[in-house]
Chain A
């Protein structure tokens, strides 16, 4: 089983990202589970969402405490020293930031990559919603689920111009990272 934890702020599409990742895993033939940790839901408030992907039915219902992968949609969330608690020692974290990877890397023993998803999103869709760019980069790095499955998941959720722009965005984002760099971290 692969476990993912997505951190973001209300309005950045963290829950949508979790659902998209799960839907993409399903399109790729896996069983999946995605759910939010609901708290005070308002724009800007920290939110978390969880994804599990496996080859067999998923019985466990608890929050993801020891993720294989983390996605941080807003680098200011890292002001919380405990944000990455539970991230597996061999795990990896993708951070949406304009800062260089080195800025974050020394804080964590796990692998970390900083990725300017908001800038890519603004250029492609005209809005600062980084979730789909981050998912595309994550899937490219991990090769857990093919990009085509993410495209299928997007087609199931969006239509028209929003879909077209997001499809273009995920293609750009996937090419902007080293394919397979995190491949050996976990397998479903």
Chain B
């Protein structure tokens, strides 16, 4: 049913539709409204789940790890410093191959302290071995959250659903909530073949010595590779039941024949699409590549998506100081095997919540017309604000 809903409230309701058995979370801006709403659904008796209030994100992640290992459908959510505090447990969750779902309400990582949106938090756990999906709207966040539970149990891997903090979590917009019947038809009850069971005693998380550690990592990497197809299949299966897909691994929008492209993840894709409508007569229409799956990284699909492009702007909503953009670097790496790879311009935008206006579309395309355009920049940094020696 179509409703005008705040993003966080919609996510709480989407999680409830998946009938989780254990939820553990520690509130942190801008994730707070999601877990507040879930806590209320449980307290009001509308959701029959164990809601565990914990004293830190480390514990939240540990509780859902234990719950899922015991065979329960488990969910948590966090952001920013909370994700960093969870990170040790995140490696354990994926390393022990425990399937569960987490929402990351993307926020900058301090210091300096900053509560606003960018994607530094999810980039900081890039190598934690989780599936990481990105959403451009609250509709996609709702649909992807429901899909994530099926993806987790079919792949045996934990799934992080990224949604931009404030920009999505605190935005009310029209969202078509699937019905309980649709979600039940799409999502089978939680089954975890390797769950701990007193009738079948076994150990989980034992010491793995050098005799087996490379094989464990290889199989984790292989499982992520296999997840690529599952992400697409599950998105299609969801469309069959609910009537709407969320964009598989990636989708190509805008002018598919354009020679210039923009690649991004998250809500900035919407702003670029709005910019394209407003400025196509002035600077031309670009091909816009909406990357949904950051992990596993869809190298093959990316190579196909850039075919025919001369130039590609990759927007990063985070920075790796001393390198540049992580997404841009990874895109360049996978395109390096192409004969006619587009020239990649990697620009970090909107760090720490700097507003990204639709004129950014025009500014990006205008900048790369210049032969001397930088290959990496914190694009919207106002260097006049810095002392000359810091520029």
Q: Which residue on B lies nearest to A50, using beta carbons? A: B171
Residue A172 at the chain B interface, CB threshold 8 Å:
no
B154 proximity list for chain A (CB < 8 A):
none
Chain B 170-190 residues near chain A, CB threshold 8 A: 170-174
Kindly state the separation between the CA atoms of A36 and B271 in the bound complex, as whole angstroms: 17
B166 proximity list for chain A (CB < 8 A):
35-36, 38
Contact A59 B270 (CB under 8 A): yes
In the assembled complex, the CB of B48 is this many whole angstroms from the nearest CB of chain A, namely 25
Q: Which residue on A lies nearest to B268, using beta carbons? A: A61
Q: Residue B355 contacts which of A26, A31, A33, A62 (CB distance < 8 angstroms)?
A: A62
Contact A19 B6 (CB under 8 A): yes
Q: Which residue on A lies nearest to B267, using beta carbons? A: A61
Residue A65 at the chain B interface, CB threshold 8 Å:
yes
Q: Which residue on B lies nearest to A19, using beta carbons? A: B172
Residue B274 at the chain A interface, CB threshold 8 Å:
yes
A35 proximity list for chain B (CB < 8 A):
166-167, 170-172
- Do A33 and B115 contact each other (CB < 8 Å), given the known contacts A19-B6, A59-B273, A61-B270? no
Contact B170 A60 (CB under 8 A): no
Kindly state the separation between the CA atoms of A19 and B324 in the bound complex, as whole angstroms: 38
Contact B274 A59 (CB under 8 A): yes
Interface of A is mostly: mixed
Residue A32 at the chain B interface, CB threshold 8 Å:
yes
- Do A34 and B172 contact each other (CB < 8 Å), given the known contacts A22-B4, A62-B356? yes
- Do A38 and B116 contact each other (CB < 8 Å), given the known contacts A62-B356, A63-B355? yes
A-contact bits for B1-35, CB 8 A (1 contact / 0 none): 00110100000000000000000000000100000
Residue B255 at the chain A interface, CB threshold 8 Å:
no
Q: Which residue on A lies nearest to B7, using beta carbons? A: A35
In the assembled complex, the CB of B245 is this many whole angstroms from the nearest CB of chain A, namely 15
Size bracket, chain A contacts: 20 to 34
B358 proximity list for chain A (CB < 8 A):
60, 62
In the complex, the number of residue pairs spanning A and B with C-beta atoms less than 8 Å apart equals 62
B173 proximity list for chain A (CB < 8 A):
22, 31-34, 58
Q: What is the interface size of chain B, counting residues whose CB is below 8 A from a CB of the partner?
A: 25
Contact A60 B270 (CB under 8 A): yes
Kindly state the separation between the CA atoms of A19 and B6 in the bound complex, as whole angstroms: 8
B30 proximity list for chain A (CB < 8 A):
38
Kindly state the separation between the CA atoms of A63 and B359 in the bound complex, as whole angstroms: 12
B-contact bits for A34-72, CB 8 A (1 contact / 0 none): 111010000000000000000000111111010000000
In the assembled complex, the CB of B261 is this many whole angstroms from the nearest CB of chain A, namely 17
A-contact bits for B276-293, CB 8 A (1 contact / 0 none): 010000000000000000
B116 proximity list for chain A (CB < 8 A):
38
A-contact bits for B74-118, CB 8 A (1 contact / 0 none): 000000000000000000000000000000000000000001100
5 additional contacts (CB under 8 A) given A19-B6, A33-B173:
A22-B172, A31-B174, A32-B172, A60-B358, A63-B355
A-B contact pairs, 14 of them (CB 8 A): A31-B174, A32-B172, A32-B173, A33-B171, A35-B171, A35-B172, A36-B170, A38-B115, A38-B166, A59-B273, A60-B270, A60-B271, A61-B167, A61-B171
Q: Which B residues form the contact surface with A (CB < 8 A)?
A: 3-4, 6, 30, 115-116, 164, 166-167, 170-174, 267-268, 270-271, 273-274, 277, 355-358
Q: Which A residues form the contact surface with B (CB < 8 A)?
A: 18-19, 22-23, 26-27, 31-36, 38, 58-63, 65
